[in-house]
């Protein structure tokens, strides 16, 4: 593997432990925790996160595709349960059955394919039936249930019902309160219908990070938690609400990821000159500037042009000019820095910190989006 060494990412082992402990304290011992590691573990690295989570006794992982499921199995040191919430590529179907990977099924087309494959391979499909309850994305709608239950009864020998599930459409914002409650009602009606027909799943699950905090009564016996694992809140509103409700000032979560690069060049610009591409930044005095070898091609969003901040030697410095594909410039006037000094893009340096949500606000990017855009070829080291 050839890594991109112009910056590096650190994954904080003790932060993972802290966050898992926090999640468990919220859901209690009787609820099964599935750690969501889709999109390369929210940019943190499946290879690094899976063993770390396993060392914290996580044995259930959720991903979105058979490609990600393969990567989790490769990274695992135990025998995890892996659940695919999205798409199984046709060519991976045999592998999915052989490795007893569990899958969401959300339409009759896929159900038919799974049953067909199960018959052919003489194995049972391990299915989670996803119900459409109001997000209007994926799942069997209430009007499908009679037909669905009919098919399931007919094909009972060819699958194990691992779960019945749904997904909430924005539990992180109180603006969606009514919609989430309606989803819960529809979900409960669906579950009751299965029960009346003696179809009993191993698990019932609907909640993501936001839901375990805002609607703990909707946990059932299993939850699928992503963003909290990485030490980030699903939204600023949730963070504030949690702190106010619990009368605490300090977040119970610890960010797992830090992203650092280094100064590669220092130069001097005379007053009146433009800096970088075009004319977005005019030096109004004589300036000292420094370059950092990270750009939008690595996930440092172009919208951070003239607005981003980094930390060097414990000082917060501003991004100036347009972020390039492979580098950006910072204003180092009046500060003591040298080529080779560490540049913290996300994380702590001395008493200063730049967290993902801060960075996201500046670039108008969601925590989730920002993390998953960080180049996967930047080396990730567990510390």
Ligand X SMILES: *Cc1c(COP(=O)(O)O)cnc(C)c1O
* Residue of 365, 299, 267 lying closest to 9 (CA atoms): 299
Task: Let me know: does 190 contact 142? Beta carbons within 8 Å.
Answer: yes
Q: Render the burial of 138-171: b for 16+ CB within 10 Å, e for the rest.
A: bbbeeebbeebbeebeebeebbebbbbbbbbbbb
Whichever of 89 and 156 has its CB closer to ligand X, that residue is 89
Q: Residue with CB nearest ligand X?
A: 226
DSSP 374: S
User: Are the C-beta atoms of 160 and 129 separated by less than 8 Å?
Assistant: no
Q: Write out the catalytic residue numbers.
A: 38, 277
Contacts of 330 (CB under 8 A, 6+ apart): 289, 290, 291, 292, 310, 312, 317, 318, 319, 320, 343
Minimum distance of ligand X from residue 130's CB (angstroms) = 8
For ligand X, give the closer residue by CB, 226 or 293: 226
CB nearer to ligand X: pick between 206 and 344: 206
Q: Are strands 60-65 and 32-36 parallel, antiparallel or unpaired?
A: parallel
CB of 224 to ligand X, least distance (A): 4
Distance, in Å, from the CA atom of 111 to the CA atom of 115, rounded to the nearest integer, reads 6
CA distance 126 to 141: 21
Tell me the closest approach of the beta carbon of residue 205 to ligand X, in angstroms: 8
How long is the chain?
A: 383
- Residue (125 or 225) nearer to ligand X, CB: 225
> How many CB atoms neighbour CB 265 within 10 A?
12
Note the residues at the interface with ligand X (CB under 6 A): 36, 38, 85, 167, 208-210, 224-227, 234
Q: How far is CA 232 from the centre of its chain?
A: 9
Of 22 and 116, CB closest to ligand X: 22
Instruction: Find the shortest distance in angstroms from Cβ 207 to ligand X.
Output: 8
Closest CA to 231 of 73, 31, 44, 33: 44
Tell me if 67 sits within 8 A of 92, measured CB to CB.
yes
User: At closest approach, how far in Å is the CB of 105 from ligand X?
Assistant: 13
Write down the least CB distance from residue 299 to ligand X, Å.
Answer: 18
Task: Detail the DSSP E strand segments found in 228-321.
Answer: 257-262, 265-269, 287-292, 309-312, 315-320
* C-beta separation of 213 from 252 below 8 A: no
How do strand 309-312 and strand 315-320 relate by DSSP bridges?
Answer: antiparallel
CB 131 → ligand X: shortest distance, Å? 12
For residues 302 and 217, give the distance between their C-alpha atoms in angstroms, rounded to a whole number.
41
Closer of 152 and 210 to ligand X (Cβ): 210
- In the bound state with ligand X, the residue whose beta carbon lies nearer, of 59 and 309, is 59
């Amino acid at each position: 593997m050839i890594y991109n060494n112009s910056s590096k990412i650190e994954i904080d082992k003790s932060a993972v432990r802290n966050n898992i402990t926090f999640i468990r304290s919220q859901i209690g011992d009787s609820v099964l925790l599935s750690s969501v590691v889709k999109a390369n573990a929210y940019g943190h690295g499946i290879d690094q996160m899976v063993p770390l989570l396993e060392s914290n006794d996580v044995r259930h992982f959720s991903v979105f595709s058979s490609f990600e499921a393969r990567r989790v199995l490769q990274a695992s040191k135990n025998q995890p349960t892996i659940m695919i919430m999205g798409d199984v590529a046709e060519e991976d179907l045999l592998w999915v059955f052989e490795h007893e990977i569990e899958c969401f099924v959300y339409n009759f087309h896929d159900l038919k394919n799974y049953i067909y494959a199960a018959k052919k391979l003489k194995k049972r499909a391990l299915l989670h039936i996803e119900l459409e309850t109001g997000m209007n994305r994926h799942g069997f709608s209430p009007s499908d249930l009679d037909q669905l239950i009919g098919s399931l009864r007919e094909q009972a020998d060819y699958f194990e019902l691992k779960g019945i599930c749904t997904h909430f459409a924005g539990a992180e914002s109180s603006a969606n309160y009514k919609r989430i409650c309606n989803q819960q009602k529809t979900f409960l009606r669906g579950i009751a219908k299965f029960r009346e027909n003696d179809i009993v799943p191993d698990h019932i699950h609907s909640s993501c990070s936001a839901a375990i905090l805002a609607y703990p009564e909707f946990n059932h016996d299993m939850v699928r938690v992503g963003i909290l694992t990485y030490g980030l809140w699903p939204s600023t509103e949730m963070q504030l609400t949690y702190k106010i409700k619990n009368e605490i000032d300090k977040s119970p979560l610890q960010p797992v990821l830090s992203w650092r690069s280094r100064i590669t060049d220092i130069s001097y610009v005379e007053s009146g000159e433009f800096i970088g591409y075009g004319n977005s930044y005019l030096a109004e005095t004589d300036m000292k500037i420094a370059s950092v070898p990270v750009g939008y091609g690595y996930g440092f969003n172009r919208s951070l042009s003239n607005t981003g901040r980094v930390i060097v030697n414990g000082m917060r410095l501003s991004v100036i000019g347009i972020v390039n594909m492979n580098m950006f410039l910072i204003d180092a006037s009046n500060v003591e820095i040298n080529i080779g000094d560490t540049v913290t893009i996300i994380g702590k340096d001395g008493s200063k910190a730049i967290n993902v949500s801060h960075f996201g606000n500046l670039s108008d990017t969601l925590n989730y989006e920002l993390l998953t855009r960080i180049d996967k070829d930047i080396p990730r080291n567990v510390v």
